[in-house]
Amino acid sequence: MTIAFCTYVSDKYYYSFGADKLVASARYFHPDIPFFVYGDHEISKFPLPIESLHPFMMNKLKTKYDIVVYIDADSIICGDITSVFTALEKHEVVCVRNNNDYGKAGCDKALSQQNRDINIYLNAGFVATTSKDFIAEWMHNNLLFAEITPFGSQSVLNTIIDKYHWKLIDGIDDDCYYGVSCLHGEKSHWQSWKDIQVDESGSLYLNNGTKDKAVKVLHHAGGFNPDKLGLYMFNDEVRRRLTEIIYR
């Protein structure tokens, strides 16, 4: 199956958001998969706020690639994510959690909507699919409703996802984190990230109080920050490993 990664970010914020780190990390673990980064030229074509353009960027690749993986620009891939592609052999869509193992969204209370279980409330910062219908419906509903929902694309995603055969890859009982689900306890990103460790193989992990979980993706969600994914946010051991991944 052919696979492509994609993201989008304003040209002005390409480096401050950490998109350069995301692209480099994807190249480190999956050098054969192309990464498409869409900037101001593409963003300006769509009549929606920038935070609601996820499926529109995925749509640009759907006819050429069997699998399209969207990742928010303020993310770093920290390990091999082949399991995502394997999951898509049986599922139409692969998604990730928004809330952590403690029933919180980091420092904040857990997010949800329409009485959705907080443990399956999805974060739109990592979505992979083989389904053209899913992308089309996400686009259509974003045009209709994204601007009047609390979290734009994410709110719409959680509204439509159950129509599809989908899989959560970092569920509360799984052994990995794929983004903001690895916020530890009631801590912020940078407080949580200080607790991440590196094993002998170079894999990142975080202990959630009961077991170690692999950190597959770091996602510095939460709006604008002039220095997202700054390596000073990590302990020395993790900083060295991320430097190897990003700047090798």
Residue 223 confidence class, pLDDT cut points 50, 70, 90: confident
Q: What is the mean pLDDT of the chain?
A: 94
Structure tokens at 246: 């990003």
Q: How far apart are CA 142 and CA 33, in angstroms?
A: 28
Section 80-89 average pLDDT: 98
Q: Is 169 in contact with 217 (CB distance < 8 Å)?
A: no
Q: How far apart are CA 146 and CA 159, in angstroms?
A: 11
Helix-helix angle 236-247:19-29, to 10 degrees: 80
Domain that holds residue 70: 3-247
Of 10-24, 35-49, 56-70, 222-236, the poorest mean pLDDT is in 222-236
pLDDT of residue 90 exceeding 90, the answer is: yes
Q: What is the pLDDT of residue 227?
A: 77
CATH number of the domain at 71, please: 3.90.550.10
Section 195-210 average pLDDT: 93
pLDDT of residue 174 exceeding 90, the answer is: yes
The DSSP letter of residue 148 is G
Q: What is the pLDDT of residue 44?
A: 96
What share of the chain in percent tops pLDDT 90? 81
Q: What is the pLDDT of residue 222?
A: 77
Residue 17 confidence class, pLDDT cut points 50, 70, 90: very high
* Phi, psi values for residue 242, rounded to 5°: -65, -35
The DSSP result for 175-237, as a single string, is: SEEESGGG--TT--HHHHHTT-EE-TTS-EEEE-SSSEEEEEEEE--SS--TTTT-GGGS-HH
Residue 46 confidence class, pLDDT cut points 50, 70, 90: very high
Residues forming a β-bridge with 76: 218
Q: Dihedral sign for Cα 219, 43, 62, 37, please.
A: negative
pTM of model > 0.75: yes
H/E run at residue 140: helix 132-145
pLDDT of residue 200 exceeding 80, the answer is: yes
Spatial CA neighbour of 122 closest among 92, 151, 85, 154: 154
* Parallel/antiparallel/unpaired status of strands 204-207 and 212-219: antiparallel
The number of folded domains in the chain is 1
Residue 125 confidence class, pLDDT cut points 50, 70, 90: very high
Residue 169 confidence class, pLDDT cut points 50, 70, 90: very high
pLDDT of residue 187 exceeding 80, the answer is: no
Section 118-133 average pLDDT: 97
Give residue for tokens 């607790």: 195
Higher pLDDT, 80 or 149: 80
pLDDT of residue 226 exceeding 80, the answer is: no
